[in-house]
Amino acid sequence: MVTFSPDPDAAVEGVQDGATVLIGGFGAAGQPIELVDALRRTGAGDLTVVSNNAGNGTTGIAALLAAGRVRRVICSFPRQVDSFVFDELYRAGRIELEVVPQGNLAERLRAAGAGIGGFYTPTGVGTLLAEGKETRTIDGREYLLEFPIRGDVALIRASTSDRAGNLIYRKTARNFGPLMASAAALSVVEVSHIVETGALDPEAIVTPGIYVDRVVLTHE
């Protein structure tokens, strides 16, 4: 059942050292900035962060990395013009990196949420990222076997939640949110608006409240 947290710090309470944390967003769109900042303030460390990118500038995920809280990053695109915090840690051998093609990352998160034990994907076949992975030829095409990525906690951003935790997103900020909400034991969402239950169109709800545990209202 969804609960509404008074502030981001309350919303991320209980994240343990060593947790796997799924963090939504593609670039700045859909980044749960306030929740990531709150996570940093908890002091929880030895984290595995699963996110499309590995932080920009000195805020959000980059600040979490800079604070030394992250042991391992699973992402599709760590290297960006302003990913210097990650770059430095990586080059110094102080952080582990698993690079996953973006579509495989999305599908592995979906598999975790959907109870799928593994799946065969054509993406990555014959590349460096296939090393160590099982392959199988199905109907004449080669595939890699990929496994689910489950989170202990998901931190995501949506546009609006109703009182039942049903979520809608805005435009391309939807990106990983619905998948991560389904793939984590505890799903925490920051939203710009909270409305009464029944105010959202049942045909247009993207993440049903069943996938949501905690909601916090933050500034837009």
The two three-digit tokens of residue 56, written as one number? 């920009």
Rounded to 5°, the CA angle 31-172-148 comes to: 70
Which residue, 39 or 73, has its beta carbon nearer to other proteins?
73
Residues making contact with other proteins (CB under 8 A): 1, 26-30, 76-80, 86-87, 90-91, 97, 99-107, 109-110, 112-116, 121-129, 162-164, 166, 169-179, 182, 197-198, 202-203, 205-206, 208-211
Number of chain residues interacting with a second copy (CB under 8 A): 26
DSSP single-letter state for residue 146? E
Q: Is residue 119 within the footprint of a second copy (CB under 8 A)?
A: yes
Residue listed under structure tokens 């030895």: 46
Q: What's the Cα-to-Cα distance from 182 to each of 17, 36, 95, 141, rounded to whole Å?
A: 22, 19, 27, 30
* Binder among 93, 128, 171, 220 for a second copy (CB under 8 A): 171
Q: Compute the least distance from the CB of residue 214 to a second copy, in Å.
A: 24
Q: Is residue 139 within the footprint of a second copy (CB under 8 A)?
A: yes
Instruction: Round to whole Å and give the CA distance between 32 and 15.
Output: 16
Instruction: Round to whole Å and give the CA distance between 15 and 189.
Output: 14
Q: Is residue 193 within the footprint of a second copy (CB under 8 A)?
A: no
Given a contact cutoff of 8 angstroms between Cβ atoms, the answer to whether 151 and 50 are in contact is: yes
Contact of residue 190 among other proteins, a second copy, none (CB under 5-8 Å per partner type): none
* Binder among 120, 152, 208, 217 for a second copy (CB under 8 A): 120
Given a contact cutoff of 8 angstroms between Cβ atoms, the answer to whether 88 and 127 are in contact is: no
Q: Compute the least distance from the CB of residue 173 to a second copy, in Å.
A: 11
Which residue, 11 or 86, has its beta carbon nearer to other proteins?
86
Q: Compute the least distance from the CB of residue 48 to a second copy, in Å.
A: 17
Which residue, 33 or 106, has its beta carbon nearer to a second copy?
106
Q: Compute the least distance from the CB of residue 137 to a second copy, in Å.
A: 9
Integer-rounded Cα Rg, in Å, for the chain is: 17
Amino acid found at 51: S
Instruction: Round to whole Å and give the CA distance between 159 and 51.
Output: 19
Strand partners, 184: 151
Amino acid found at 206: V
Q: Is residue 220 within the footprint of a second copy (CB under 8 A)?
A: no
- Residues of this chain that interact with a second copy (CB under 8 A) are 107, 111, 114-122, 136, 138-139, 141, 143, 147, 168-171, 201-204, 206
